[in-house]
Structure 1
Amino acid sequence: MAKYLYKLGRWVVNHNKKVIGGTLGILIITAIVALSMGPDFSDEMSIPDTESAEAGKIMEREFQASNEPALGTINLVLKAPKGQTLESSEVKDAINKTIDKIKEDKSVVSIATPAELGNYNETKQIGYAIVTYDVPAAKVTEKSKEIILESIEGARNDGVQTELAGTVAFSELEIGGITEVIGVVIAYAILALTFASFLAAGMPIITAVIGLGIGILTILVGTNYFDIPSFALALAAMLGLAVGIDYALFIMSRFRQELAKGYSVQEAIAIANGTAGSAVVFAGITVIIALLGLGVAEIPFLTMMGISAAVCVLCAILIAVIFVPAILAVFGHKIGPSRKNKFLARLTSKRNNKESNKWGSFVTKRPWTVTILGILLLVVVSIPFFHMQLGLPDNGTKSDETTERRAYDLLSEAYGPGYHSSLVVLAEADENEEIQARINKVIEELGDLPNVKSVSPPIPGKSGNVFMISITPNTGPNDIETNELVHSIRELSDKNNEQVELYVTGATAVNIDISEKLNDAVPLFASLIVGFAFVLLVLVFRSILVPLKAVLGFLLSLLATLGFVVFVIQDGNFNSLFGFPTASPILAFLPVIVIGILFGLAMDYEVFLVSRMREEFTHSKDAHKAILAGIKESGGVVTAAGLIMIAVFTGFMLAPDPIIKSMGFALTFGIIFDAFVVRMAIVPAVMTLMGKAAWYLPNWLDKILPNIDVEGTSIQKEIDESMAINKKKNSLRMKEEQVSE
């Protein structure tokens, strides 16, 4: 791999203008295509082959008049001022004015008032009107939304609290807001500190943004052909930006090191591409494989999330090994060799020998202390993981600054938390004279189940032997009791299988099935990832203990990450500090996402840190010296890369959307635990304890394993031989010139 990337680097240097122009051309063409087609996201989150999905098919067949999507609706949730009701004359006048104004929108088909719907709560202080449009929810225009927002202001000014719920979204998921910009600004400051150059600091960000732009635009085009959820774009943007900056940082850092050794700009670029570029490609491929591995769960929306993020990572790799060398060919002479920043110089100041720095000396002199404290910290943080509860976000998890959250709270106040967790039960029976009696018996049994607030009368379907029954629980959609009720209904179906078969569906049942399916997929996915990591690292490092240490460290950082996520998000500790409006279950697909992404990033840091140790051990056979050299040469870069990741992910953590916020939060602390506690502390400490045994590999295994030259040893030999030949030629030429004189 190193030889090919070395040759690619030389070719790019010689054709740098064509490469830069071609890359920008691809970006422009992709943008034109994406803008002309427009995005078409799908937020369908059902899972095939689950009971709720099967029930959904029966419901569509029996009760849906056509295959056309349902029309968009907005619920105007209304609360009368204190001391009044929705039937008070002043309140009714305010509501009627609002409704009359909304009717001016020609796309509104109908408006049903609370009085017509009869949905007042017991005190008649809260109710809701339903606005129906002539198009599906996704097609409702921004102009129609503006009319709604302007109309309800009149009711609010008259003292009637008016909030919005329904299928039409008002708090849209946004990418590229001010919080993400803050993350990029912090990343720039870290790069400026690392390179001690504003020009050099800007280059990784610019190249990463170009790669991210191509990736995001490609995903937008793909939404027209595949069912890609909107939040997949957030994950792809988050990951693509972070790895894009990191990969450019790794190559630029190696380029500056080679310049410092006396190589020309052209040769330094080629060497950096062959060495650091090899590590970038290898690390990036592991991230891509981990993301594609999300398909193991056989959940369509999760698979598309993995593919979307993998597209952005692939773009980041290609930009790093093709576009970055071209940029270095143009500006390389202006950014290196490195100028030392005073802070960085103190951080990496040398002590007794040239191979050491302060942190390396500290860790290798106290390996037992560092190992025990590091492992103890991660184990303690991991404890909350063992009571993790999965769920999916709803309006109740949004910020109370959004109208959807306020509407959610009003509806809970009016009708109880079970209003939001309504279950749809389909009762299917064989056609005979006793069918109605059996259905009545089932309704009676359903009403006797624990946690049932009410059971609606059965509605017959087209065939006459399928009946739809609505059940309202006493608890909310993410409560354990609601989950248990769904299972109780299904168990009741098993008991009465010969008479009536019951299917449970509805948004709450679908969410429960998704959470359970994802929960079941976590052990299999984690096992595949750990096994894959071990085999891959054995190939790279040609060792047994180093890969074993790496995967055990990954498991520790993973458990600590999920434990801390549960501690904050689910248990509600410090949730206001991190901007979470309320305690809530963990996002159902978050553990799988964290496993995939954290694995890839952990392998990034492992490869960049330990490959330098192996390179030194190969030459010196001194295990202690190899550890110090790895920390000295790669530790600073890994530290900077980890801080950049944290900065980018923190920017997404500050976003208002609960899905983006929880992903950003988990990945932020995942990097803190893995990069700084595991890779920069536990790894060198454990390797110090293992000594030369860390690099042991049986001879028979060494012979059959392919040689993956991540460190670029092969090209260094070629370079050394080439330099020796050039020196001889130069010396002979000088002698000839002296003789001729």
Structure 2
Amino acid sequence: MSSYLFSLGRFSFRHKWWVIGAWVAALAILAGLIAGLNPKFSKDFELPGTDGGVAMEQMEQHFSELTKSQTEANTLVLIATDKNNPSDKLANHVDAINKLVADLQGLPEVADKSTIVNPVLAAKAMPAMAGKVLGDDGRVGLITVHQKLNVMDLKPKDKEALTEVLDKHRGNGLQVEATLGVMQAQEEAGKAEMIGFAIAFVVMIVAFGAIVAAFIPLITGIVGVGLTMMLLMVSSKFMTVNQTATAIVTMLGIAVSIDYALFIVTRYRTERARGGDPADAAGRAVGTAGSAVVFAGLTVIVAVAALMVIGIPLITQMGLGAAIAVAVAVLAGLTLIPALLGATGKYAFSPKIPWIRHAEESATGDTLGVKYGRAIVKRPIPFIVGGLAILAVAAIPMSHMQLGMDTVSDDEVAGQQLLKRGFGEGTGAELFVVVHTEQGTVTAAANTAVAQIQKMDKNVVNPALLTWIGNGKDAKNPNVDANTALILVTPTSAASSEATHQLVEDIRALSPQIEAKGGEIHVGGQTAIMADLTAKLDKALIPYLLVVVGLAFLIMIGVFRSLWVPLIGTLGFIFSVLATFGATVWFFQDGSLGLIDHTKPLLSFLPIFLIGVVFGLAMDYQVFLVTRMREEYIHGMTAKDAIIAGYRHGARVVTSAAIIMISVFSAFMLAPDTMAKMMGFSMAIAIFFDAFIIRMTVVPAVIALLGDRAWGLPKWLDKVVVNFDIEGEAVRDRGLQPAAA
């Protein structure tokens, strides 16, 4: 394979303007298709094959207006008096509350102003319903604001319009907060990426010691991610592509593009120093480093594409989109990078920055990487024990890890606390119980469902008031001749709590009794769907881990032609992932060191997300560092000298790539939301643990301990495994013979 890649790299270098033109043309064609087709990303979240998904399908079919209202922003505004002053009630603040109501009615896209009312006056007008709008003995009030804004289209300005009203009416004995609805609008994306790009540029200047070379990986990353996003947008015209799925495309596309570019450009500089024609140097760089890039990319593609085994459309789209991004990054590394190197010519590594030491490789210089490698080779056991001990200690908090889908933002916490104080944690987390029959009317089945749910009184708010509404044609009597019933159940516990999840399952367990009445029962709504999502992710975690690790292990056997090296790399990844979970639990679930203000369980999708993305990046670093060790070993170096040579040529690029990724992910911790901080922290700490402790320390130390045994296959397996020549032996000296003569 290296011979083909050599030819491709040399061709791209020599025909640089044609290659660059082809990439520009591809971008232009896709931009034209987007302009002509006007495709749109989907914003609907579906969970087919689950009970919650069935419930929502039946709601959409039989209660379409209600279903539509659930897709629009329903914000809960809470008002309260000082809890330390029991004698002060909201009835003493009627005028102030009326002014608040008037401003809330003036918000954009309010569906029906008449539904936004003073809870004190509403309680007096309808005493039977007072408990729904006044709580804590009249000291906490609830106002629901329904705006015709799709929850998937909410913008920061929608949230700002509401918060300005809340700020205006706080004080004078009143606390005014809000939760759900427009309070869940997300900040515009891009800030973290821009910070990450800025840091990446600085790190690459240090890595190359030159300005022009530092731009090449950035250009490749921007072109690669841009092309992938355009491909996904065009495909959304013909198939469903959720906008949420594009986040991982941007994150991973930037990461691998920069990684691959760093590796190939660094190898090109090494080959240029060896002499010969620059086009041949580009060919050798692509034939050697490019081979490693191909297999590193293949490993990442396997890791993210395997997300399909989970069976959730959104996550499947994430995996496929990320796989396309990685494939484009590999193609850019093999063609666009040598073309850009050809275009910049002798100026690629200029202007040089003189005060940056060791920017260029030296066969004799003792860099920090070389010194570290020598120390590991000399005494590998302390490094193995020390590295694994650090990870083991970091993993300890994982023993009490909790998973959930708590999507409450930090700005909503005060509102949630007032909601809990006045009306219970489950308010706003309602369950939509759907009872349906194909055999006449649903009356008997619906009455049975209501009666049975009322018996779950410890977990249901106001069970005696439970009732059902049908889909009958008579608007005044919808329960007459109805074949579908809807029961709104408010749990006493929070949406993400185990008690609420158990309530969902208890209601679903009524299925035999409902079937005896000729009907079927399903539980839907956001709370139930999130519970289903958590359960589905929990079940998929182990199969996904086995698929990813198993396939990647087989690929690495072919890459390294060894059993020990893939085994060490895979086991090391497990250590780093467990340590990542433990550290994330310690900071975000336990609230240690005060890093966050509001603790919460780890997001249910975080383990699978981490395994997919971090495993891919970890194998990148494994391939980049260890393939050079193997390359030097098979060309005559001793096992220990080959390890040191691997550090000489690979430590700087792996360190630079890891620092860039840590910086990019850490930038997300600057976001005000705990969820974004959790994602950024977990990704950054995972890269730190895996790149520096496992790939740069433990793996080379174990290889040093094994010596020659690390590099070999059993004879029977050696005959079966194809020799991919990832070290580029066939092209190692191509183009140098004339110079030598």
Alignment TM class, shorter chain as reference: 0.7 to 0.9
Does the aligned pair in 1 maintain the 2:391–2:575 contact within 8 Å? Answer: yes
Does the aligned pair in 2 maintain the 1:34–1:218 contact within 8 Å? Answer: no
Q: Which TM-score applies when normalising by structure 1?
A: 0.87
Cα deviation for residue 394 of structure 1 reads 2.0
Q: What is the aligned partner in structure 1 of residue 18 from structure 2?
A: 18
Does the aligned pair in 1 maintain the 2:136–2:421 contact within 8 Å? Answer: no
> Is 1:219 matched with 2:219?
no
Cα deviation for residue 28 of structure 1 reads 4.3
> Is 1:88 matched with 2:88?
no
SS in 2 for 1:534: helix
Q: Gaps (5+ residues) in structure 1?
A: 729-741
Cα deviation for residue 270 of structure 1 reads 1.7
Q: 1:413 aligns with which of 403, 406, 421?
A: 421
Does the aligned pair in 2 maintain the 1:77–1:410 contact within 8 Å? Answer: no
Q: What is the aligned partner in structure 1 of residue 135 from structure 2?
A: 121
SS in 1 for 2:134: coil
Q: What is the aligned partner in structure 2 of residue 174 from structure 1?
A: 188
Q: Gaps (5+ residues) in structure 2?
A: 83-87, 123-128, 472-480
Amino acid corresponding to residue 93 of structure 2 in structure 1 = S
Q: What is the aligned partner in structure 1 of residue 486 from structure 2?
A: 468
Q: Which moved more, 1:521-530 or 1:621-630?
A: 621-630
Q: What is the aligned partner in structure 2 of residue 731 from structure 1?
A: none
Deviations 1:325-377 (A, max 9, x none): 11111224123499797675499999899999210111111111111111122
Does the aligned pair in 1 maintain the 2:441–2:482 contact within 8 Å? Answer: no
> Is 1:689 matched with 2:691?
no
Does the aligned pair in 1 maintain the 2:100–2:165 contact within 8 Å? Answer: no
Alignment partners' CA distance in 1, 2:441 and 2:262 = 76
Does the aligned pair in 1 maintain the 2:158–2:185 contact within 8 Å? Answer: no
SS in 2 for 1:53: helix
> Is 1:49 matched with 2:68?
no
> Is 1:399 matched with 2:410?
yes
Does the aligned pair in 2 maintain the 1:52–1:503 contact within 8 Å? Answer: yes
Amino acid corresponding to residue 174 of structure 1 in structure 2 = E
Going from structure 1 to structure 2, the CA distance change for 1:529 and 1:9 (only over 3 Å counts) comes to same
Q: What is the aligned partner in structure 2 of residue 626 from structure 1?
A: 642
SS in 2 for 1:708: coil
Q: What is the aligned partner in structure 2 of residue 641 from structure 1?
A: 657
Q: 1:384 aligns with which of 382, 397, 400?
A: 397
Amino acid corresponding to residue 290 of structure 1 in structure 2 = A
Cα deviation for residue 53 of structure 1 reads 1.9
Cα deviation for residue 232 of structure 1 reads 2.4
Q: What is the aligned partner in structure 1 of residue 535 from structure 2?
A: 516
Alignment partners' CA distance in 2, 1:673 and 1:453 = 46
Cα deviation for residue 696 of structure 1 reads 2.3
Cα deviation for residue 34 of structure 1 reads 4.3
> Is 1:281 matched with 2:294?
yes
Q: What is the aligned partner in structure 2 of residue 305 from structure 1?
A: 318
Q: How many residues align?
A: 714
Q: Which moved more, 1:380-389 or 1:621-630?
A: 380-389
Going from structure 1 to structure 2, the CA distance change for 1:338 and 1:296 (only over 3 Å counts) comes to farther
Does the aligned pair in 1 maintain the 2:358–2:367 contact within 8 Å? Answer: no
Q: What is the aligned partner in structure 2 of residue 482 from structure 1?
A: 500
Cα deviation for residue 431 of structure 1 reads 7.1
Cα deviation for residue 60 of structure 1 reads 3.6
Cα deviation for residue 586 of structure 1 reads 1.5
Going from structure 1 to structure 2, the CA distance change for 1:145 and 1:371 (only over 3 Å counts) comes to closer
Alignment partners' CA distance in 2, 1:442 and 1:66 = 20
Deviations 1:414-456 (A, max 9, x none): 2121214322334568979996599358625643464333324
Q: 2:608 aligns with which of 566, 586, 592?
A: 592
Does the aligned pair in 2 maintain the 1:613–1:626 contact within 8 Å? Answer: yes
Amino acid corresponding to residue 17 of structure 1 in structure 2 = W
Q: Which moved more, 1:152-161 or 1:617-626?
A: 152-161
Q: Which moved more, 1:360-369 or 1:564-573?
A: 564-573
Going from structure 1 to structure 2, the CA distance change for 1:356 and 1:428 (only over 3 Å counts) comes to closer
Q: What is the aligned partner in structure 2 of residue 669 from structure 1?
A: 685
SS in 1 for 2:186: coil
Going from structure 1 to structure 2, the CA distance change for 1:314 and 1:429 (only over 3 Å counts) comes to closer
> Is 1:367 matched with 2:380?
yes
Matches within 5 A, 1:497-576: 498=516, 502-574=521-593, 576=594
Q: 2:720 aligns with which of 666, 680, 704?
A: 704
Q: 2:370 aligns with which of 357, 361, 372?
A: 357
Going from structure 1 to structure 2, the CA distance change for 1:646 and 1:157 (only over 3 Å counts) comes to same
Going from structure 1 to structure 2, the CA distance change for 1:536 and 1:62 (only over 3 Å counts) comes to same
> Is 1:189 matched with 2:194?
no
Q: What is the aligned partner in structure 1 of residue 126 from structure 2?
A: none
Cα deviation for residue 77 of structure 1 reads 0.7
Going from structure 1 to structure 2, the CA distance change for 1:412 and 1:711 (only over 3 Å counts) comes to same
Cα deviation for residue 76 of structure 1 reads 5.6
Alignment partners' CA distance in 2, 1:255 and 1:626 = 20
Going from structure 1 to structure 2, the CA distance change for 1:432 and 1:19 (only over 3 Å counts) comes to closer
Going from structure 1 to structure 2, the CA distance change for 1:472 and 1:53 (only over 3 Å counts) comes to same
SS in 2 for 1:563: helix
Q: What is the aligned partner in structure 2 of residue 737 from structure 1?
A: none
Matches within 5 A, 1:424-439: 424-427=432-435, 436=444, 439=447
Going from structure 1 to structure 2, the CA distance change for 1:726 and 1:409 (only over 3 Å counts) comes to same
Alignment partners' CA distance in 2, 1:211 and 1:285 = 16
SS in 1 for 2:539: helix
Q: What is the aligned partner in structure 2 of residue 738 from structure 1?
A: none
Q: What is the aligned partner in structure 1 of residue 467 from structure 2?
A: 458
Alignment partners' CA distance in 2, 1:345 and 1:294 = 41
Does the aligned pair in 2 maintain the 1:447–1:454 contact within 8 Å? Answer: no
Going from structure 1 to structure 2, the CA distance change for 1:89 and 1:482 (only over 3 Å counts) comes to closer
Deviations 1:273-313 (A, max 9, x none): 12111211221122122111100111111111112222322
Deviations 1:559-611 (A, max 9, x none): 2222222222222223x42xx44211221211111111112111111111111
Amino acid corresponding to residue 439 of structure 1 in structure 2 = N
Alignment partners' CA distance in 1, 2:451 and 2:720 = 67
Amino acid corresponding to residue 27 of structure 1 in structure 2 = L
Alignment partners' CA distance in 2, 1:234 and 1:433 = 46
Amino acid corresponding to residue 22 of structure 2 in structure 1 = G
Q: What is the aligned partner in structure 2 of residue 733 from structure 1?
A: none
Amino acid corresponding to residue 11 of structure 1 in structure 2 = F
Does the aligned pair in 2 maintain the 1:111–1:132 contact within 8 Å? Answer: no
Does the aligned pair in 1 maintain the 2:433–2:488 contact within 8 Å? Answer: yes
Q: Which moved more, 1:692-701 or 1:292-301?
A: 692-701
Does the aligned pair in 1 maintain the 2:406–2:495 contact within 8 Å? Answer: no
Q: What is the aligned partner in structure 2 of residue 251 from structure 1?
A: 264
Going from structure 1 to structure 2, the CA distance change for 1:120 and 1:155 (only over 3 Å counts) comes to same
Amino acid corresponding to residue 447 of structure 1 in structure 2 = K
Amino acid corresponding to residue 186 of structure 2 in structure 1 = E
Alignment partners' CA distance in 2, 1:648 and 1:49 = 36
Alignment partners' CA distance in 2, 1:341 and 1:86 = 74
Amino acid corresponding to residue 233 of structure 1 in structure 2 = T
Q: What is the aligned partner in structure 2 of residue 236 from structure 1?
A: 249
Going from structure 1 to structure 2, the CA distance change for 1:42 and 1:256 (only over 3 Å counts) comes to same
> Is 1:334 matched with 2:355?
no
Q: What is the aligned partner in structure 1 of residue 336 from structure 2?
A: 323
Does the aligned pair in 1 maintain the 2:376–2:697 contact within 8 Å? Answer: yes
Alignment partners' CA distance in 2, 1:39 and 1:164 = 35
SS in 1 for 2:48: coil
Does the aligned pair in 1 maintain the 2:205–2:211 contact within 8 Å? Answer: yes
Q: What is the aligned partner in structure 2 of residue 59 from structure 1?
A: 59
Question: Identity across aligned pairs (percent)?
Answer: 35
Alignment partners' CA distance in 2, 1:162 and 1:74 = 17
Does the aligned pair in 2 maintain the 1:194–1:640 contact within 8 Å? Answer: yes
Cα deviation for residue 248 of structure 1 reads 0.9
Alignment partners' CA distance in 1, 2:578 and 2:704 = 24
Going from structure 1 to structure 2, the CA distance change for 1:264 and 1:655 (only over 3 Å counts) comes to farther
Q: 1:200 aligns with which of 188, 203, 213?
A: 213
SS in 1 for 2:302: helix
